[in-house]
Amino acid sequence: MRIEVSAVGTDDLVSFHCSAGAGTGVWKSQEPPVAGQEYEVEIDIDGEVSPRSGGVAGMRLDGTSVVLCGLWQVMEDGATYLQVAGSPVSVEVADGDTTASGEVVEVVADTTAIHLFPSNT
């Protein structure tokens, strides 16, 4: 996903915006981010999530949480992804989750659980 860093905070937290909306996450690179610069990143959610049906496609901040909504995808190998604005977000689901691949779902995660792995640093 292509993001533009809007602010760099403490503990590697960065605020960003992208075509899907706005978010905050933990920068996972030895090269520090620069506010105002664009990066191509892979977004992973650390920890298990429980998707909820519905929502408006995109990404937004809600207090100390990031709300992501998109198309739920379960791969043949069991890996799960949330397609947000055409970009896959890697997620782990809670035990017993029965969300079907192809559903539009919403996932809420703490900003510290959103991990940003830049590919162009």
Mean pLDDT of 45-49: 91
Give the pLDDT band of residue 54 (cuts 50, 70, 90). Answer: confident
Any long-range contacts for 35-39 (C-beta under 8 Å, 24+ apart)?
A: 35/5, 35/6, 35/7, 35/8, 36/4, 36/5, 36/6, 37/4, 37/5, 38/2, 38/3, 38/4, 38/5, 39/2, 39/3, 39/4, 39/5, 39/116, 39/118, 39/119, 39/120, 39/121
pLDDT in tens, 75-119: 888 889 999 988 999 998 877 788 888 999 999 999 999 999 999
What is the pTM (predicted TM-score) of this model?
A: 0.91
